[in-house]
């Protein structure tokens, strides 16, 4: 079913190109592992099992990792009401609604398709945002579901996850078992580590580039659906500023899931590392919302002095 979220052809093209390039990388990765490990059955079974587990259970894995739990209408009636209204406006299935008992203000969406999606907000976000701001954030997350970029990021992340795990496995195997291996085995492990590291690096860059664009696409879609880009801009400013005041050590666990969050769990705006970030800068997002606000004839935008 096609939702009323405005389609984004550039996002679709980027997702297609990213998946195509990662597909080529995936084939090359499997071929390299087959040559190095000399066991097609082991490689295919291992990667197939991990892919199925990540794709089919990604929502449960994300919910567990980010301390989310499904909540019913009786427990959070206002939250459900906002999601109901937005889903009616967008003409899309209502996702499962969840809440994470975290003080960090944030939100995320996950799931393999719109019929099996979860939208989760933290209690810290619910405490800090006004109703209009919360509506903007939830519209942003619902647009990720409608555009199916949540599923694409989940699939795209798989190769990097496997490569990263193989690097760690090869590294620790060499440390703890190097003395018991012959030279040929050491060469195989070194080859696996090298190929895995290269695959991880390439997939990392491809995913980050797509992730930054999809956040801008979600901001645009949310602003156009609600007709209130200034409310979304206000939420972005408030959430980013509050996260910046949280000690970095308290954000480290959450940072592993930055690609899924409404705004990254970082203590400061990125400098040169913005090229490796999962999100565009706050200024880029606010500038885009300012342009949409002008197009829609809105006059209320967050003042420059209030921007974190």
In contact, 152 and 210? CB cutoff 8 Å: yes
Annotated binding site for Zn(2+): 140, 144, 215
Nearest CA among 146, 141, 147 for reference residue 125:
141
Cite the annotated binding site by residue number: 140, 144, 215
In the chain, what is the straight-line distance between the N-terminal and C-terminal CA atoms, in Å? 39
Residue keyed to tokens 């794709």: 55
Measured CA distances, 54 to 33, 36, 143, 213 (Å): 20, 25, 22, 23
Per annotation, catalytic residue among 141, 269, 295, 304: 141
Is 74 known to be catalytic? no
CA–CA separation, 152 vs 154, rounded Å?
A: 5
Check if the beta carbon of residue 183 is closer than 8 Å to that of residue 160: no
Please identify every residue annotated as catalytic: 141
């Amino acid at each position: 079913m096609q939702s009323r979220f405005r389609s984004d052809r550039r996002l679709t093209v980027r997702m297609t190109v990213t998946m195509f390039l990662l597909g080529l990388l995936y084939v090359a990765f499997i071929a390299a592992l087959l040559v190095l490990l000399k066991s097609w059955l082991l490689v295919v079974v291992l990667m197939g099992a991990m892919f199925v587990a990540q794709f089919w259970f990604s929502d449960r894995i994300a919910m567990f990792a980010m301390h989310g739990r499904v909540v019913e209408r009786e427990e959070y009636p206002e939250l459900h009401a906002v999601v109901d209204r937005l889903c009616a406006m967008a003409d899309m299935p209502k996702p499962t609604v969840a809440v994470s008992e975290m003080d960090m203000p944030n939100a995320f969406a996950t799931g393999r398709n719109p019929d099996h999606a979860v939208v989760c907000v933290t209690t810290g976000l619910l405490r800090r945002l006004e109703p209009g701001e919360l509506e903007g954030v939830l519209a942003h997350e619902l647009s990720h579901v409608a555009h199916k970029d949540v599923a694409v990021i989940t699939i795209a992340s798989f190769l990097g996850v496997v490569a990263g795990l193989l690097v760690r496995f090869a590294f620790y195997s060499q440390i703890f078992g190097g003395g018991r291996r012959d030279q040929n085995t050491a060469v195989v492990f070194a080859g696996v580590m090298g190929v895995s590291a290269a695959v991880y690096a390439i997939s990392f860059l491809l995913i980050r580039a797509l992730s930054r664009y999809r956040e801008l696409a979600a901001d645009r879609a949310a602003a156009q659906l609600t007709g209130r880009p200034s409310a979304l801009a206000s939420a972005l400013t408030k959430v980013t500023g509050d996260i910046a005041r949280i000690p970095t050590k308290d954000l480290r666990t959450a940072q592993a899931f930055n690609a899924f969050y409404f705004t990254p769990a970082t203590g400061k705006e990125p400098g040169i590392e913005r090229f490796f970030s999962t999100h565009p800068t706050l200024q880029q997002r606010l500038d885009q919302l300012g342009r949409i606000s002008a197009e829609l004839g809105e006059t209320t935008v967050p003042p420059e002095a209030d921007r974190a």
